[in-house]
Amino acid sequence: MIRLHHVSASRSFRILWLLEEMGLSCDISHYSITDGSLRDPDFLKISPAGRVPALEVDGKVIFESPAIVQYLCESRPLSGMAPGVDHAERVDFLQWLSFAETQASILASLNLQVVFLRPPAVASPAVVKLDVARLRKTLKPLEKVLATQEWLLASGFSAVDTMLGYNLFAVKYFVEMDAFPNVLAYIERIEKRPAYQSARALDGAQEFYSKDFYPVPEGGAGD
């Protein structure tokens, strides 16, 4: 039995999607960012910082999505979701695995400021502007690599596409994507994958975004 501790549309979606790609079913425990369920003492025994994803698998409990992805790929090499240790693409795989969290940390900062802060707290326009610029910069290496290949590894779809691909559905709330046609085409390819579609069907409704786009607030847009 595999159990995924999950918040809809959060980073735990990466694992839900990867499990679908691997043909593995799981039981899902659902939580919410806003209702205090991530601070429940029973959940904190599983994920000490109160974060998702956490995965119960093979008698182990693992938190941190890159660690979960790496564990699933290494324990199930026949899934073909990651190059082996000696493979020529291994370095690319590890690099994108970590880069996904570089990008996601900027998204987390933007989410906190723009989506989750409640009055009287207000977002800093200067910090939001800086974060959006930093986020845009993280799209440039993706745009470049996706100019010549369909997936992040030249050999084809792999687990790092679930790590980084997930992020892109949040990036579009903050960055005008017209300048990144290769990334847009990549998102379209992702949306056509049956495993992505079945994971979305299991995911549940996202509770983060109430608008299609969040522009830099007044005071941060000028130079």
Ligand X SMILES: N[C@@H](CCC(=O)N[C@@H](CS)C(=O)NCC(=O)O)C(=O)O
For 147, the token pair is: 């100019």
Distance between start and end Cα atoms, the chain: 54
Of residues 31-70, those binding ligand X (CB under 6 A): 33, 38, 50-53, 64-65
Query: Any idea which residue has 């003492």 for tokens?
Result: 41
Kindly give the interhelix angle for 125-145 and 181-191, rounded to the nearest 10 degrees: 80
Of residues 86-105, those binding ligand X (CB under 6 A): 101
Least Cβ distance, residue 131 to ligand X (angstroms): 16
Least Cβ distance, residue 17 to ligand X (angstroms): 14
Least Cβ distance, residue 221 to ligand X (angstroms): 27
Q: Which residue, 65 or 103, is less far from ligand X as judged by CB?
A: 65
Distances in whole angstroms, Cα of residue 78 to Cα of each of 41, 72, 81, 150: 37, 11, 8, 22
Q: Which residue, 53 or 83, is less far from ligand X as judged by CB?
A: 53
Least Cβ distance, residue 74 to ligand X (angstroms): 17
Instruction: Determine whether 192 is exposed, middle or buried from the number of CB atoms within 10 Å of its CB (0-12, 13-18, 19+).
Output: exposed
Residue 55: φ, ψ to 5°: -130, 130
Q: Which residue, 63 or 150, is less far from ligand X as judged by CB?
A: 63
Q: In what order do the strands lie in the sheet with 54-57?
A: 27-31, 3-7, 54-57, 60-63
The region of 5-13, 121-129, 147-155, 194-202 touching ligand X under the rule CB under 6 A is 5-13
The region of 6-14, 70-78, 199-207, 208-216 touching ligand X under the rule CB under 6 A is 6-14
Q: Which residue, 29 or 182, is less far from ligand X as judged by CB?
A: 29
x/- track of binding to ligand X for residues 138-157 (CB under 6 A): --------------------
153, 89 contact by CB (below 8 A): yes
User: Is position 175 an interface residue for ligand X (rule: CB under 6 A)?
Assistant: no
The string of DSSP letters for 7-29 reads ETTSTHHHHHHHHHHHT---EEE
Distances in whole angstroms, Cα of residue 203 to Cα of each of 32, 46, 209, 211, 217: 12, 20, 15, 20, 30
Which one of residues 4, 6, 10, 203 is an interface residue with ligand X (CB under 6 A)?
10
Which one of residues 4, 5, 11, 157 is an interface residue with ligand X (CB under 6 A)?
11
Residues forming contacts to ligand X in the complex (CB under 6 A) are 7, 10-11, 33, 38, 50-53, 64-65, 101
